[in-house]
């Protein structure tokens, strides 16, 4: 797995063997950033991103490479993301790792403009995590939530979000929601 664009394009990331971590495919990650570019104009220098269910941290590190101001990684098991973050030691002030359960988040210490969530497929965790982001005040006004699900997985979108876009890439379905 590699960073596919921006300042660190081509930099290899560590991903353990097995099925516990399922990084977003390169094709889907590139497509998401193309959609973000069309919605945000590609200027990420003032934006804060939270990578929830971070796993390897590939999405958040891609965002950092493309100029995101700050990225926070959240996962119950942070070993993999911590290993990858260490490879970006010159960016330490722009990265933070939080060991936490996405369905029982602490109150926010920082608010986010963009949230990427890639929960384990078919376990019903995404909807619970969305509610936590709102209840624990993790989102700035009109924050954009990018959600990866299995293409056949149903998500009951909370009424506090507007539907923006929906795409399918292989087995992955990517939803874009904006906080009202």
* Long-range CB contact pairs, 81-89, < 8 A, 24+: 81/51, 81/54, 81/55, 81/56, 81/57, 83/14, 84/13, 84/14, 84/56, 84/57, 84/58, 85/57, 85/61, 87/11, 87/13, 87/14, 88/8, 88/61, 88/64
- Give the phi and the psi of residue 58 in degrees, each rounded to 5: -55, -45
For the full predicted model, state whether its pTM sits above 0.85: yes
The token pair that represents 160 in the structure block: 């506090």
CA distance 54 to 118: 7
Q: What angle do CA 172, 177, 179 make, to 5 degrees?
A: 155
Q: Give, for all 180 residues of the chain, the pLDDT tens digit.
A: 899 999 999 999 998 776 566 667 778 888 899 888 887 877 888 999 999 999 999 999 999 999 999 999 999 999 999 999 999 999 999 999 999 999 999 999 999 999 999 999 999 999 999 999 999 999 999 999 999 999 999 999 999 999 999 999 989 999 999 999
Cβ 57 vs Cβ 81: under 8 Å:
yes
Residue among 54, 179, 168, 162 at smallest CA distance from 63: 54
Kindly give, in sequence order, each residue whose CB lies less than 8 Å from that of residue 28, ignoring residues fewer than 6 positions away.
148, 169, 170, 172, 174
CATH class of 26-179: alpha beta
């Amino acid at each position: 797995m590699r960073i596919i664009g921006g300042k660190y394009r081509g930099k290899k990331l560590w991903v353990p063997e097995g099925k516990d971590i399922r990084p977003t495919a390169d094709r889907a990650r590139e497509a998401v950033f193309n959609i973000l570019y069309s919605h945000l104009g590609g200027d990420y220098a003032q934006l804060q991103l939270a990578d929830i269910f971070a796993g390897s941290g590939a999405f958040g590190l891609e965002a950092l490479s493309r100029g995101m101001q700050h990225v926070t990684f959240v996962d119950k098991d942070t070993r993999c993301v911590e290993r990858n973050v260490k490879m970006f030691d010159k960016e330490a002030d722009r990265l933070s790792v939080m060991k936490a359960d996405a369905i029982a988040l602490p109150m926010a210490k920082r608010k986010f403009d963009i949230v990427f969530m890639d929960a384990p497929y078919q376990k019903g965790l995404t909807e619970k995590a969305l509610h936590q982001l709102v209840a624990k005040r993790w989102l700035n006004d009109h924050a954009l939530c990018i959600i990866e699900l299995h293409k056949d997985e149903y998500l009951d979108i909370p009424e506090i979000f507007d539907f923006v876009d929906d795409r399918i890439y292989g087995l992955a379905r990517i939803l874009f929601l904006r906080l009202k």
